[in-house]
Structure 1
């Protein structure tokens, strides 16, 4: 089956990924793998959030003892899903920042 899912990074997510991976090639690789996994099956890969964050999915990555989160939502167009990454960061204060951002 042809997978036409596309990835879109919002500016805040893009900036965060650049900042987090600047000095850590292994983390960059983990994030790339995670994004591939999410793209393959966006609704199953992450955990659907509820309440204020309904419609948003969260995906956890553990790297060197630190918990990183990828927050995204799923949009759809004629060719498939568009996975829109809203925010990427460490778990600490992540959801407070995400709620403010949304």
Structure 2
């Protein structure tokens, strides 16, 4: 069963700003073909990021992360997409502004 995917504005903005279409397509493939089908396979965060999962992605030697939350039995919320550098710091800052 595939989950419905909701992508937050900040994540959509990051995808739009990507310079290559191949990297954008790689992110979309991971989101809709991997995460939407088996979201529990991501890395479960702990501490103050407890309900959030992350997914790792590599492209040309650069590590990327996708942060998401399983909202209910049908929906996944893609919260943030970015490079590994300072990713969790940005995620914590974003979650503070939203909550």
Query: Normalising by the residue count of structure 1, what TM-score does the alignment of the two structures yield?
Result: 0.87
- Large movers: runs of 4+ above 3 Å: none
Unmatched tracts of structure 1, length 5 or more: none
CA RMSD in angstroms comes to: 1.1
- Alignment partners' CA distance in 1, 2:22 and 2:14: 16
Unmatched tracts of structure 2, length 5 or more: none
The answer to whether 1:88 aligns with 2:84 is: no
- Alignment partners' CA distance in 2, 1:92 and 1:30: 19
Q: Is the 8 A contact 2:2 2:36 kept in 1?
A: no
Which of 69, 76, 82 is the matching residue for 2:65?
A: 69
Deviations along 1:8-58, one digit per CA (max 9) or x if unpaired, are 0111111111112xx2111012101110200001112x1000011001000
| Number of residue pairs aligned between Structure 1 and Structure 2 | 94
